[in-house]
Amino acid sequence: MIALTAKTLYTPLERVDNPLLLLDGQHIADVTSQAARAVPAGTRVVDFGDAVLAPGFLDIHIHGGAGRDVMEGNPASLSAVERLIAKHGVTGYLPTTVTAPVDQILSALERLARAIEDGEKQNSGPGGARATPLGIHLEGPFMSHARSGVHPPGDLLLPTLPMFERFWQAARGHIRMITMAPELDGAAEVIAAASKRGVCVSLGHSDADLETTRAGIAAGARHATHVFNAMRPLGHRDPGIIGEVLTNPRLTVDLIADGIHLDPSIVQLVLAAKGKENSVLITDAISATGMPDGLYPLGSLEVEVKDGKALYNGHLAGSTLTLDAAVRNVMGFAHWDLQAALRTATLNPARVAGLANSGRLQAGASADIVILSQCGEVKNTIIRGHVN
């Protein structure tokens, strides 16, 4: 057994001062305070001084990093991404596909499913912590031509049950999220079918009006992908998808808080509208994350990165954001304290993606922990109880 001590712990719903966090193998055995319980005899104690203990971050929308794209799907590519994001506090993630020819998507899903099934073997050897793939986010090809962003328009498809079934079988049931435009013919039927299998259907890359958005929610959609980006603009007489997303308390939303995809004032607006309970931070990070400016892959595209901004033919093409930076940006943009900001990168994405053992420090949960400074800088990352 290992005992972790520090100045503060956020579960994140509760704050514990002078905490005692007991790890038993890959799981948390107890979350308490040093005043309430003595360290069990024979326990290894690791003291992090004046740091903060928090649940490991979860990135439910990420395309790559460290020069590699997750659709490559090979162990070396995923390992490079996983080591990079672990340094930024991410302990679990959903590798996210992009629109491509169907055969390429199917091949990527098969490789990613294998990586997820092999994930139990991670973090047991040398080389540092690696974030764990916990499921797949299928972004595209069921998106609007009008709001496809940089996704190749020639590879977009209308949603059908047979096509969804092909993706589901290739992924061996590991699809946890799917982004879809609700206005497409066949969308309601596929939304309902995916929702029945426990998939979080997220509205995005959409030009839907208010009525059609509500129909998608009635069919089972419960989340929205990178709100404002690749969406019909908000109008005061034609509120469209954004009007519904911001005002419907049944919907959670994710946002890219890099100051590029959204002005800081809009980040503040979204967080004020959705609150601490319904806001989720994502990175939408591409292979260029953690790398110098240059040309990098995003699926089959070659994206140019300059001054940290990723562009394809003049359009934003993902980001180079890291999740710890997004947490700190929320603190700065919206004036939230660290505890509130942490919820958007831990408990909330866990609930959205159905990750029952992640996102919260409590007995029985996976021992995935990030150690932070009081201002949110990552000091260390512990994944499945492996303390470096």
Active-site residue set: 284
> By C-alpha distance, which of 54, 50, 53, 45 is closest to 7?
50
* Strand 315-316 versus strand 15-17 pairing type: unpaired
Report the Cα 384 to chain-centroid distance in Å.
Answer: 18
Instruction: Find out whether 331 and 338 touch, Cβ atoms under 8 Å.
Output: yes
Q: H or E stretch including 132?
A: strand 132-133
* Omega of the bond leading into 349 within 30 degrees of 0 (cis): no
Instruction: Work out the number of other CB atoms within 10 angstroms of the CB of residue 380.
Output: 18
Helix (H, G, I), strand (E, B) or coil at 258: coil
Distances (CA, A) of 388 to 85, 125, 292, 338, 358: 16, 11, 28, 25, 20
- The sheet carrying 44-47 orders its strands as 27-33, 19-24, 2-5, 44-47
Torsion of Cα atoms, 357 then 361 then 362 then 367, to 10°: 60
Angle at 254 between CA 249 and CA 258, to 5 degrees: 135
Pull the structure tokens for residue 229. 């980006």
Q: H or E stretch including 146?
A: none
* Omega of the bond leading into 141 within 30 degrees of 0 (cis): yes
Print burial letters for 22-52: b (CB count within 10 Å at least 16), e (below 16): bbeebbbbbbeeeeeeeeeeebeebebeebb
Handedness of CA 388, 353, 362, 13 (dihedral sign): positive
> By C-alpha distance, which of 97, 199, 110, 202 is closest to 152?
97
